[in-house]
């Protein structure tokens, strides 16, 4: 399809307004067509004067002018027009907003007015937001007025006018219809162009609603088809190592542990192992809250691989995390005689060379590392399993590069960011999802408090008492320096050094330190050489210091619930009772939101609440995945439509895996346009 005309070529758009359209992301005729109104003013039905003011919202009325009262008060034009209809009289008011109405209205004129109406002692009045002069015998024909997202300099009225003037021309750029004709018919969808006309200029709300629904379905159909095509392709690959699971292996694995597996861990291990018995590469996402024991599950996958003579690689986003994984995995793998090599950037050339030799020769069964694993000279003798920790921290391309070091290796993605199940099936449509929904027993739950800033000294006294008992504490704040009204870690650390924690050993950690400095501070804290760590959220992932028993989050209102939950997960990792204190400014009404955290330690429940409060677009997990970039659909609001689109997509792809049939040309074109790439984010 050729390019649609530039916005400046449309009637009603001049050199001055074209950049204003561009600023809203509208560069072409097609962009304008796809710029949908987010609501409508329904001007269709006038209310009788006797009923005005009952709705509490905007209302419409039609009447004949009985009297006009005009005043100027300090440069403000005030126009009050008395109008009569068949039920009585009311007053329409214009107050200083529109000087063009001054002197315009005459007795006996017929007017349409719309605005917020109210009832008073002197009868009903209406604050006019919109009006029209009707001809003496003109029948009133109210419309649905589309309201577009506007900017300061480009009003919705202007946008609507340009759309209206150019609508037939715009409709020519409706593009490929992703919905195959038979499916559109089955679902009762109007033809695509008609749907665009219905959404920009509907006759009634139902028409607009039906059109929107069609677009939402279409958008989801593209997403779900992309995922279905990917899945189909993956299912068609048969060169992964089909591993054999010795019947006694799970028992053997469990006996080597100092504790019993939780039921959730056992279930998930079985799911993963079952995937790995197939010659089709596994593509599974393991979701588990902080502390749920994902490392152990990863170890089980590695043990199965090693038993079958296949190597594994685990990649983590930071050196600290990679080192911790190596440390935790080593004792789990030791009883099975599995040798592990670490590969990361700051390693000495000699130790790196040794590790690479042993991986290339196959002498070492497991590599644990950072992005350093992706470098060219890292080779494996037989890489059959890749594990990607905190998967959202890596790009598609990086995940693909790791996989390319083996032949269709099985892949396990891990995340500690819980995503509600409903959302996970769509965001991660090409992945099978496993969830560890149970924490190991015997943990003392972390006690959480929400406290106002005015009580901060009490909070610090509480922290100090815990330090006196031999524990350590984190103090997290949102800003690095004092550039805003937010608490800065640099300033707070200075203040604490001079005050509350003058006798304590205090460290400072933030994203502007070099990685060497960060590792140094983190290392000292982990070894117990620091009592307090004042940090930004750089500590969010990865650190595991069992002796830390207090987490204080300053300006807690600045964080999403899911993120606060992650931060909280940094404590409660040892035997001691742990605490999380969320500090928020006295003047913010945060009690309800933070209350969710004080009540619950269930990451999934918190994620659901976070999602409910912030919507899909803002939700941490989806932002990373690109779900926020959807055009009109919303994965939370429209989740039931997604389910329908997914079923339809699967049906289409089973019948026509490459979308080669003519009726799927529109869908194929939409897929190829790459506009909806979300579903592809996790595939490789």
Query: Which residues lie near ligand ADP (CB under 6 A)?
Result: 259, 261-262, 265, 288, 290-296, 416, 440
Query: Residue 311 or residue 417: which is nearer to ligand ADP going by CB?
Result: 417
Q: How far is the CB of 571 from ligand ADP (least distance, A)?
A: 13
Q: How far is the CB of 574 from ligand ADP (least distance, A)?
A: 9
Rounded CA separation 526/506 (Å): 13
Q: How far is the CB of 566 from ligand ADP (least distance, A)?
A: 10
- Distances 378 to 109, 111, 343, 357, 383 between C-alpha atoms, Å: 84, 79, 9, 9, 11
Tokens 């330690």, residue located: 601
Query: Residue 207 or residue 566: which is nearer to ligand ADP going by CB?
Result: 566
Q: How far is the CB of 440 from ligand ADP (least distance, A)?
A: 3
Query: Residue 265 or residue 318: which is nearer to ligand ADP going by CB?
Result: 265
Query: Residue 479 or residue 580: which is nearer to ligand ADP going by CB?
Result: 580
Query: Residue 290 or residue 594: which is nearer to ligand ADP going by CB?
Result: 290
Cβ atoms of 33 and 170 closer than 8 Å? yes
Query: Residue 82 or residue 568: which is nearer to ligand ADP going by CB?
Result: 568
Q: How far is the CB of 264 from ligand ADP (least distance, A)?
A: 9
Q: How far is the CB of 416 from ligand ADP (least distance, A)?
A: 6
Rounded CA separation 115/127 (Å): 5
- According to DSSP, the residues that pair with 131 across neighbouring strands are 113
Nearest to 434 by CA among 324, 317, 292, 532: 292
Query: Residue 329 or residue 652: which is nearer to ligand ADP going by CB?
Result: 329
Pairing of strands 39-42, 123-134: unpaired
What would the 3-class secondary structure string for 157-226 be? HHHHHHHHHHHHHHHCCCCCCCCCHHHHHHCCCCCHHHHHHHHHCCCCHHHHHHHHHHHHHHHHHHHHHH
Query: Residue 324 or residue 426: which is nearer to ligand ADP going by CB?
Result: 324
Cβ atoms of 433 and 425 closer than 8 Å? yes
Q: List Cβ neighbours of 395 (8 Å cut-off, separation of 6 or more).
A: none
Q: How far is the CB of 568 from ligand ADP (least distance, A)?
A: 12
Q: How far is the CB of 569 from ligand ADP (least distance, A)?
A: 7
Rounded CA separation 384/313 (Å): 8
Tokens 């009580």, residue located: 455
Query: In 289-330, at which residue ranges do the beta strands (DSSP E only) sit?
Result: 311-315
Q: How far is the CB of 602 from ligand ADP (least distance, A)?
A: 14
Nearest to 403 by CA among 385, 379, 377, 430: 385
* 8-state DSSP, 478: S
Query: Residue 4 or residue 472: which is nearer to ligand ADP going by CB?
Result: 472
């Amino acid at each position: 399809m050729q390019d649609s005309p530039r916005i400046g070529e449309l009637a009603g758009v001049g050199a001055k307004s074209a950049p204003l359209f561009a600023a809203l992301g509208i560069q072409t005729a097609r962009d304008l067509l796809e710029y949908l109104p987010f609501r409508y003013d329904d001007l269709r039905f006038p209310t009788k004067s006797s009923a005005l003011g009952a709705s509490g919202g905007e209302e419409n009325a039609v009447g004949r002018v009985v009297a006009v009262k005009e005043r100027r008060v300090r440069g403000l034009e005030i126009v009050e027009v008395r109008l009569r209809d068949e039920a009585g009289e009311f007053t329409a008011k214009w107050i200083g907003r529109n000087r063009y109405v001054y002197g315009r209205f005459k007795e006996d004129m017929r007017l349409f007015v719309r605005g917020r109406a109210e009832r008073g002692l002197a009868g009903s009045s209406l604050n006019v937001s919109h009006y029209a002069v009707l001809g003496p015998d003109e029948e009133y024909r109210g419309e649905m007025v589309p309201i577009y997202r506007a900017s300061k300099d480009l009003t919705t009225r202007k946008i609507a006018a340009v759309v209206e003037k150019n609508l037939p021309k715009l409709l020519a750029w409706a593009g490929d219809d992703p919905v195959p004709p038979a499916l559109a018919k089955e679902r009762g969808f109007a033809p695509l162009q008609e749907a665009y006309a219905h959404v920009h200029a509907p006759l009634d709300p139902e028409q607009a609603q039906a059109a929107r629904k069609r677009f939402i379905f279409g958008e989801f159909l593209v997403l779900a088809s992309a995922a279905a095509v990917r899945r189909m392709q993956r299912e068609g690959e048969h060169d992964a190592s089909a591993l054999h699971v010795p019947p006694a292996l799970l028992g053997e694995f469990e006996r080597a542990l100092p504790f019993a597996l939780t039921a959730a861990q056992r279930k998930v291990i079985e799911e993963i192992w079952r995937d790995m018995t197939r010659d089709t590469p596994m593509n599974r996402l393991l979701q588990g809250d902080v502390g749920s024991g994902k490392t152990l599950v990863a170890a089980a996958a590695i043990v199965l691989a090693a038993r079958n003579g296949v190597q594994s690689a685990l990649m983590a986003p930071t050196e600290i995390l990679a080192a911790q994984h190596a440390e935790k995995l080593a004792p789990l793998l030791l009883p099975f005689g599995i040798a592990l090599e670490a590969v990361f950037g700051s390693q000495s050339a000699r130790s790196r060379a040794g590790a690479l030799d042993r991986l290339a020769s196959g002498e070492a069964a497991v590599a644990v590392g950072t992005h350093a694993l992706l470098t060219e000279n890292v080779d494996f003798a037989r890489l059959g399993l890749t594990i990607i920790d905190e998967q959202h921290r890596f790009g598609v391309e990086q995940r693909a590069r790791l996989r390319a070091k083996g032949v269709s290796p099985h892949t396990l993605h891990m995340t500690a960011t819980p995503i509600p199940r409903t959302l996970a099936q769509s965001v991660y449509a090409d992945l099978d999802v496993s969830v560890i929904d149970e924490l190991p027993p015997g943990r003392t739950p972390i006690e959480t408090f929400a406290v106002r800033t005015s009580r901060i000294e009490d909070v610090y006294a509480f922290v100090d008492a815990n330090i006196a008992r031999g524990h350590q504490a984190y103090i997290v704040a949102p800003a690095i320096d004092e550039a805003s009204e937010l608490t800065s870690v640099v300033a707070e650390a200075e203040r604490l050094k001079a005050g509350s924690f003058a006798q304590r050993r205090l460290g400072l950690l933030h994203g502007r330190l070099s990685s060497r400095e960060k590792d140094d501070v983190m290392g000292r804290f982990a070894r117990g050489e620091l009592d307090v760590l004042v940090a930004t959220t750089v500590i969010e992932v990865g650190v595991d210091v069992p002796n830390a028993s207090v987490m204080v989050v300053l300006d807690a209102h600045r964080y999403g619930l899911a993120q606060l939950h992650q931060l909280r997960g940094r404590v409660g990792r040892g035997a001691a009772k742990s605490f999380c204190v969320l500090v928020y400014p006295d003047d913010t009404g945060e009690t309800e939101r933070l209350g969710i955290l004080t009540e619950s330690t269930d990451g999934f429940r918190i994620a659901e609440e976070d999602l409910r409060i912030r919507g899909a677009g803002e939700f941490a997990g989806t932002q990373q995945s690109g779900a926020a970039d959807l055009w009109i659909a919303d994965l939370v609001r429209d989740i039931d439509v997604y389910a329908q689109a997914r079923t339809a997509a699967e049906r289409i792809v089973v019948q026509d895996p490459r979308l080669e049939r003519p009726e799927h040309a529109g869908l194929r074109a939409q897929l190829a346009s790459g506009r909806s790439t979300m579903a592809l984010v996790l595939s490789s």
